[in-house]
């Protein structure tokens, strides 16, 4: 069995007395493609923010490659091999594609001077050469000088993923990467992410499009009201009675068990 790159053990988080995440634990296998899914309000984004260090859990432990990172600040988690994209694109629209990718490289720099190095005005630094090579390897080699704001939405989604990859992550967290894409763009993004995973990057994906999840991810973790209700193969998630009840309600779940639910 593949060793986990990420492990959560009894993770809980509350806000103002409201339990948002309750005793959640699961492993993400190194090299795997894992989906984190659940109905709206299930706690998926909160859990992502706990994993990435935006919030600190009230109890439990988060481990990256066996190291407890529960108290490690978000920026240092990037340095340890974790990166993320966002549901709402957070590229700098007025900058070029290459400049946005080079901003992603700053996570690997140590100290103020080193942080400014990727954006050096003095010729084609090693950082720029590396960023251009990364774009080319991801099939985006024709876009380096294009201003981000002028590009189609689907291309910008891919660029945000590449910017996260510029931090050289071992684990990439993707928050609804297919949101807002048409079917053609979604299929293209899926192939793009499979290529990234085949290159050795582990994926943890929050997504509502179950068709996209089934075609991309081999494992799924399902949350409902902040609790884990399923942890297993993606191919079987729509047959699980707890998942069916979470999405369809107790009156409808038994009838739908033989049909499969359109979970997301």
Domain borders along the chain are: 1-81+169-264, 90-168
Distance, in Å, from the CA atom of 45 to the CA atom of 55, rounded to the nearest integer, reads 11
C-beta separation of 223 from 233 below 8 A: no
Superfamily covering domain 1-81+169-264: P-loop containing nucleotide triphosphate hydrolases (3.40.50.300)
Distance, in Å, from the CA atom of 264 to the CA atom of 161, rounded to the nearest integer, reads 21
The residues pairing with 210 across neighbouring beta strands, listed in sequence order, are none
Distance, in Å, from the CA atom of 170 to the CA atom of 153, rounded to the nearest integer, reads 26
C-beta separation of 24 from 9 below 8 A: no
Residue 109 has pLDDT above 90, yes or no: no
Q: 233 phi and psi, to 5 degrees?
A: -60, 140
Mean pLDDT of the region 144-165 = 88
Residue 252 has pLDDT above 80, yes or no: no
Residue 262 has pLDDT above 70, yes or no: no
Q: 186 phi and psi, to 5 degrees?
A: -65, -45
The pLDDT value given to residue 181: 83
Look up the pTM and report it.
0.83
Helix (H) or strand (E) holding 7: strand 4-15
Structure tokens at 12: 């809980």
Of residues 227 and 134, more confidence is placed in 227
The pLDDT value given to residue 264: 46
Distance, in Å, from the CA atom of 221 to the CA atom of 215, rounded to the nearest integer, reads 15
Structure tokens at 162: 């590449």
The residues pairing with 12 across neighbouring beta strands, listed in sequence order, are 59
C-beta separation of 77 from 52 below 8 A: yes
The pLDDT value given to residue 116: 52
Residue found by looking up tokens 């075609």 in the block? 215
C-beta separation of 51 from 8 below 8 A: yes
The SS3 assignment for 23 reads: strand
């Amino acid at each position: 069995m593949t060793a986990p790159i990420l492990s959560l053990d009894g993770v809980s988080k509350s806000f103002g007395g409201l339990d948002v995440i309750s005793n959640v634990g699961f492993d993400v296998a190194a090299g795997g493609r894992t989906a984190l899914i659940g109905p709206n309000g299930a706690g998926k984004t909160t859990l992502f923010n706990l994993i990435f260090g935006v919030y600190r859990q009230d109890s439990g432990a988060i481990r990256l490659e066996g190291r407890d990172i529960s108290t490690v600040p978000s920026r240092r988690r990037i340095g340890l091999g974790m990166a993320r994209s966002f549901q709402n694109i957070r590229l700098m629209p007025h900058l070029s594609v290459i400049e946005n990718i080079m901003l992603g490289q700053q996570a690997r720099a140590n100290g103020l001077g080193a942080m400014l190095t990727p954006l050096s005005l003095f010729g084609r630094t090693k950082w720029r050469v590396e960023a251009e090579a990364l774009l080319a390897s991801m099939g985006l080699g024709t876009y380096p000088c294009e201003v981000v704001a002028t590009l189609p939405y689907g291309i910008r989604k891919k660029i945000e993923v590449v910017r996260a990859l510029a931090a050289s992550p071992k684990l990439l967290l993707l928050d609804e990467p297919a949101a807002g894409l048409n079917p053609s763009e979604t299929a293209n993004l899926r192939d793009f992410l499979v290529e990234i995973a085949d290159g050795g990057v582990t994926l943890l994906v929050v997504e509502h499009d179950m068709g996209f999840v089934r075609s991309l991810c081999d494992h799924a973790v399902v949350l409902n009201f902040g609790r884990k209700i399923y942890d297993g193969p993606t191919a079987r998630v729509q047959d699980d009675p707890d998942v069916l009840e979470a999405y369809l309600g107790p009156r409808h779940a038994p009838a739908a068990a033989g049909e499969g639910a359109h979970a997301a």
